[in-house]
Structure formats: C-alpha cells, structure tokens
Amino acid sequence: MLEIPETRPLTLSDVTIRLAERTLLAVSATVMPGEVLTIMGPSGSGKSALLAFAGGFLDPAFDASGRLLIGKEDLTNVAANRRHAGILFQDPLLFPHLSVGGNILFAVPPSVRGRETRHALAERALAEVGLAGFFDRDPETLSGGQKARVALQRVLVSAPHFLLLDEPFSKLDTALRQQMRELVFSRARAAGLPAILVTHDSADAEAAGGAVIEIGGEAKP
C-alpha cells in the first residue's frame, strides 16, 4: 500500500462564491476522513468554482469568502501547490511526453528518496490497479479506463491530504464507470481521505455514500 500520512477532516466554513455581484452558492460542510461529500446542481451553478476555491485556483473573475480547513489548519490563503489537494477531472490529463510510469513518478513526493525506491513505488501503484507491466507504455496507447486508473494512482502517490473530484467518471461508459467509482471511493476510504465530488449523476452520489449538497438546496444526510 502507498503511504498516506494525513487523515484529517476537511471543512468548508461559510464558503460563498459570487460572480458579478450574484451569489452562486453558499456552503458549510465538514467531510470526515474517508468520506465523500457530493455536490450536485444545474450547469453553471458554480460546482467547479467551488472545487477551484478548495484547490486554490479559483479564477479572479469570482469573488469568494469563507474558509477552507484541513483539520485545524487554515488553507484559505495557502498557495495551490502547497495545499496537498489530489484533483481528478473528467479528463485524465496524462502528460503525453512521459511514459505511463513517468506520469506516476512525476507525482511521487521529493521526500521519497532514491531512484530505485521511487521507481518501485510507481511500479507498485500501477500493479495495484491491474497495470503491472505498463510502466514504459505511451499513455496514448491506453484505453479510457486504463488512463483513468493511471490518473487516480498519480493522485494517490502524491500523498494528498484531501481529494477534489470534478465529474471524474462522466467520460467512462456505464460498466467502467461503475468500476472506477468503486475503485476511487474504496481507495479514498482506505487512505482516510476526505473527498468532495462534483457530479450530475445521482448514481455517483449514491455510490459515494456520503452527504449530498444540492447547490441552492438543502444538505441531505
């Protein structure tokens, strides 16, 4: 198993996001380690903006207030690259100029020392998701499901403190979608990572098993 050191709750405290004077959303929630908070709502309601706020890369066109905490640590004004957020988008966004293994190695923290140790960690990460032997492959030669698994492992080897999932299953077909949901949520649970999931699909929310916030609506237990 990969070493994931942090297991602290993630808190959105009175987070309000506005665009051109209009309030898009206002959210307060605490996500416990291993839990998934699902955010649903119509297109344009600000779901991706909320994840961008949490990741520290909200476009300056938006006006945000409120706080983001991991445990007691206030991340609100911490730079994106120091938040230890693990982010998955719709697209796996693998680096095309690196091999599959190179994509994983890229994310292994510098604190993991030694070429062989780093290499072994990347090999193990691939094997964990059924991709043993894929290290030297060009990412372009992988299927959509294989790319999605590489993207997940690239996030997990980076030892994130929390996960931000922006419709990560929406480009997969039904069977793969089911598999990836199980994989992502079980890995998040095993690692004790709090996660925020944005989706349009209520089956994703059901599989996530945690609280659901409908933007503009009430939180459901």
Ligand X SMILES: Nc1ncnc2c1ncn2[C@@H]1O[C@H](COP(=O)(O)OP(=O)(O)OP(=O)(O)O)[C@@H](O)[C@H]1O
Alpha carbons 141 and 99: distance in angstroms, whole number? 10
Smallest gap from Cβ 49 to ligand X, in A, equals 3
Question: Is the CB of 177 or the CB of 187 nearer to ligand X?
Answer: 177
Question: Is the CB of 11 or the CB of 48 nearer to ligand X?
Answer: 48
Smallest gap from Cβ 121 to ligand X, in A, equals 34
Smallest gap from Cβ 48 to ligand X, in A, equals 3
Question: Is the CB of 12 or the CB of 159 nearer to ligand X?
Answer: 12
Question: Is the CB of 59 or the CB of 218 nearer to ligand X?
Answer: 59
Smallest gap from Cβ 57 to ligand X, in A, equals 11
- Please give the residue ranges that form the binding site for ligand X (CB under 6 A): 19, 24, 41, 43-49, 59, 61
Smallest gap from Cβ 39 to ligand X, in A, equals 8
Question: Is the CB of 59 or the CB of 136 nearer to ligand X?
Answer: 59
